[in-house]
Amino acid sequence: MKQVLLVFLGGGLGSALRYLISKPLNIVFHNFFLGTFLVNIVGCLLIGIILGFSAKNNLLTSNNTLFLATGFCGGFTTFSAFAFEKHTLIKNSELFHFSLYTLSSIIVGILAIALGLWLSKFLD
């Protein structure tokens, strides 16, 4: 039950922060959904750092990792909003923006995880 509470608390914090960041940026950049893109990429970077740091040493307990990676990063990033926004772009015949948003999110997301794992090697 403690683990569920940790995921719940971390997810709530991540979701609230995602809302505060993505809401204003998605209004300004409505064809690219910059807010969702940024929270997903930053979330990928963070989870790479957290999981890489966790695997490297014993400073993070399994509960810390659960709170940060599963809870916070899980709540902070959003696949459902990403999918809905892609659907909206297709519906509006914005095929260029759909392609740009989809490919950049996947490629930059994977690169951000790799960067986070690499950066975690330098954390003590």
* 82 within a domain of the structure (yes/no): yes
Residue 74 in marked binding region: yes
Which of the four pLDDT bands, split at 50, 70 and 90, describes residue 29?
A: confident
From 18, 48, 49, select the one nearest 33 (Cα to Cα).
Answer: 18
Q: Which token pair is 24?
A: 């204003």
Least confident window among 19-23, 32-36, 57-61, 114-118? 57-61
In the chain, what percentage of residues exceed pLDDT 70?
98
Spatial neighbors of 8 by CB under 8 A, at least 6 apart, are 71
Q: What is the pLDDT of residues 65-92, one digit of tens each?
A: 999 999 999 999 999 999 999 999 999 9
Q: Which domain holds residue 92?
A: 9-120
Euclidean distance between CA atoms 45 and 119, whole angstroms: 9
Residue 71 in marked binding region: no
The verdict on pTM exceeding 0.95 is no
Is there a contact between 26 and 86 (Cβ–Cβ < 8 Å)? no
Average pLDDT over residues 17-41: 90
* 3 within a domain of the structure (yes/no): no
Euclidean distance between CA atoms 57 and 40, whole angstroms: 26
Domain total of the chain: 1
* 1 within a domain of the structure (yes/no): no
